[in-house]
Homo-oligomer: A and B are copies of this chain.
Amino acid sequence: MKTRRVTFLPFDKTVEIDEGTKISEAAQKAGVYINNLCGGEGVCGECRVRVVRGEARQEDGATSFFSQEELDQGFVLACQTEVHDDLQVEIPAESMLEEEQIMTGETRDGVAQGDSVVVHEDQDLTLYPLKPLARKIFLELPEPSLEDNITDIERVSRELRRRIGWHSYEITLPCLRNLSDLLRGNQWQITVTVVRDNKGYKIQKIEPGDTTSSHYGLAVDVGTTTVVAQLVDLRTGRVLGVEGVHNTQAQYGEDVISRMIYACRKDGKGLQPLQDAVVKNINDLIDALVERMGIGREEIFAVVAAGNTTMSHLLLGLTPCSIRLEPYVPTADAYPQILASDIGIHIHPQGILNVLPSVASYVGGDIVAGVLSSGIADQDAVHGLIDIGTNGEIAIGNSEWLVCCSASAGPSFEGGGTTCGMRATRGAIEALTIENGSLTYETIGHAAPRGICGSGLIDCIYALVKNGIIGFDGKFDRKRDDPRLGWTDGVPHYVIARADETETGNPIVISEPDIDNLMKSKGSVYAAIKSLLDYIGMTFDMLDRFYVAGGFGSYLNIRKAINIGLLPDIPEERIRFIGNSSLTGARMALIHEEAFEKCQTVAKSMTNIELSNYQPYMDEYVASLFLPHTDRKLFPTVDY
């Protein structure tokens, strides 16, 4: 079959697919999310896209959604149009899933420098076979006879073994309760939902007839700042929709430490509100997703959640109190599979929840998910991963060994701790340049600026030092004559967007203390990477590839991140920005049994190096509080 290339604008993502694939499917493969209210039936008209280059012809019925002018412009419904040519397809804002590019930040290969990047078929769809943690199997059983009078449940198990493999299937009493009548009342045709847990296989639900056409799962990234959920069609492994919300635990504490303190209040009443908050977040996300997709909550049967160790504890209602204090001991690092309803998540009453296992107090299931989704643990070559959030967690290794560590990065790259910092949502300045004295920026959603997010801050620091506005020590050149340079109470700041440009009517600035915080954040991250490599006797050039994950939205300028000394100065092409790898990993574990198993192995086999009392790390940290670094030789390609 012939291969075609489709490039999606404005993301500039290109995917290679088989001829005849629908544009909507190509978009999914490319990690570009388009509205899909009717599930691809061509009846909602919500997946309008414009073919700007190449020939495409949609199904006849779909033309009724467009005016003649629109048809002339190349508008088609993505779900009703097959690809038979190399195409460029523009996705209008109204067809994008709300905030999708922001909240998920999911991308496989880098979008560095705005280059067009070929997104191959998702690794998770090729490395592992599609075997969701909860599988629905339609069975037509032979009727019993005197020659074949095994028990009803054994008849079910026998057919299951024939269909999905020679396992022993654990049975729950509710599934047995009505089985006899159910089989005999429905011509021996049933749909069995089999669930994989830490130990084996379990028959979790038996329904009359064939219900396999409706089977959904949820992948959740439980972040300290943001909770993001993907609704996944478990028949295909495809993402149907994604939603994100602020983690409303924030009302009890902005960062992990302050939430632990709240959870461990002496009156013993701190834990429940934190659990309730995140459970409500997830329920709200489910509400939004099922409403948009027009399905019922109870059609969702499996949830896989990834989060740091504290978030995982809080979600499950486990006290995180001893995580915070030396010797940093969590209650558990592997969590039992439970009914989602056990903690109040509203999906099918028998539906399951798996929280991905942690490695240590400060290396959680989100990093295990990241290792999984980046494929580090599947390679002979040594790869690295850093997930930059409030903490920077780093994993290095290959299929033979894995080490990890974590370092407090501070909230700077997530939009906290700076005067005008914000999360990577609509209106955030995500890219910025100063050239020939002229400052230009781009905002997410092309909206009026409301603040500046992590990737914008990285660009900003680089632009400031590159143009000599700040020195290598991060201090402003106080002698410089620059209209954007201002002072508040003796503290210098730089105006990025004037009051008349912004949505709020307040200027967006970066102050010297902001820069100081960013220097500490980037120094902490770099020092952690360096210390971990030193610890295992490796150097940067031994890293075949280095993945960067984190809440930067869909955009991170790798070159500039190197230039400010956040990332090591290795050839740029070895560094890949992979967005929200926690979410990707959670989805992989949801739809691939082998990926789920791999998570357990990764979590168990990864060696955590505790940096908090490790003197070389402290030394590295101090040396990193400079642009790009005290030891310039470590950054030979930096251009200032």
Contact = CB atoms under 8 A, between A and B. Distances in A.
Interface of A: 144-146, 148-155, 168, 170-173, 176-181, 184, 198-200, 316-319, 321-322, 326-336, 338, 342, 361, 610, 613
A205 to B, nearest CB: 14
A336 B178 CA distance: 15
Contacts of A171: 332, 334, 336
A178 B319 contact: yes
The 10 residue pairs across chains A and B that have the minimum distance between CB atoms: A149-B327, A153-B332, A146-B327, A180-B319, A144-B329, A180-B331, A152-B331, A151-B333, A151-B330, A144-B327
Copies in the complex: 2
Contact of A326 (B146, B178, B199, B335): B146
A173 B342 contact: yes
A155 B331 CA distance: 10
A67 to B, nearest CB: 56
A149 B330 CA distance: 9
Contacts of A318: 176-177, 179-180
Contacts of A610: 146
A170 to B, nearest CB: 6
A333 B180 CA distance: 13
A333 B155 CA distance: 11
Given A146-B327, A146-B613, A336 B176 contact: yes
15 contacts: A144-B327, A146-B326, A148-B327, A150-B329, A151-B329, A151-B331, A152-B332, A153-B332, A154-B332, A176-B332, A180-B321, A180-B331, A181-B319, A181-B321, A199-B199
Contacts of A151: 329-333
Given A154-B333, A179-B332, A180-B331, 19 more contacts: A144-B329, A149-B328, A149-B361, A151-B330, A152-B329, A154-B332, A168-B199, A170-B199, A170-B336, A173-B317, A176-B318, A176-B332, A176-B335, A177-B317, A179-B318, A179-B331, A180-B329, A181-B319, A181-B321
Contacts of A336: 170-173, 176
Contacts of A316: 173, 176
Nearest to A178: B319
A315 to B, nearest CB: 11
A145 B336 CA distance: 25
A179 B317 CA distance: 11
A180 B319 CA distance: 7
A139 to B, nearest CB: 16
A440 to B, nearest CB: 50
A322 to B, nearest CB: 5
A223 to B, nearest CB: 22
A302 to B, nearest CB: 17
A275 to B, nearest CB: 11
Contacts of A181: 319, 321
Contacts of A332: 151-154, 171, 176, 179
A327 B150 CA distance: 9
A155 to B, nearest CB: 8
A330 B151 CA distance: 5
Contact of A176 (B173, B178, B322, B331): B331
A335 B613 CA distance: 53
A390 to B, nearest CB: 22
A364 to B, nearest CB: 12
A160 to B, nearest CB: 14
A170 B199 CA distance: 8
Contacts of A329: 144, 149-152, 155, 180
A145 B199 CA distance: 30
A154 B342 CA distance: 23
A150 B317 CA distance: 20
B199 A322 contact: no
A377 to B, nearest CB: 21
Residue from A151, A168, A327 whose CB has the most chain B CB atoms within 10 Å: A151
A334 B150 CA distance: 12
Contacts of A198: 170
A317 B178 CA distance: 9
A144 B328 CA distance: 9
Contacts of A200: 199
A327 B145 contact: yes
Nearest to A328: B149
Nearest to A203: B336
A155 B151 CA distance: 42
Nearest to A174: B342
Nearest to A184: B322
Nearest to A319: B180
Nearest to A330: B151
A402 B332 CA distance: 45
A177 B320 CA distance: 10
Contacts of A149: 327-329, 361
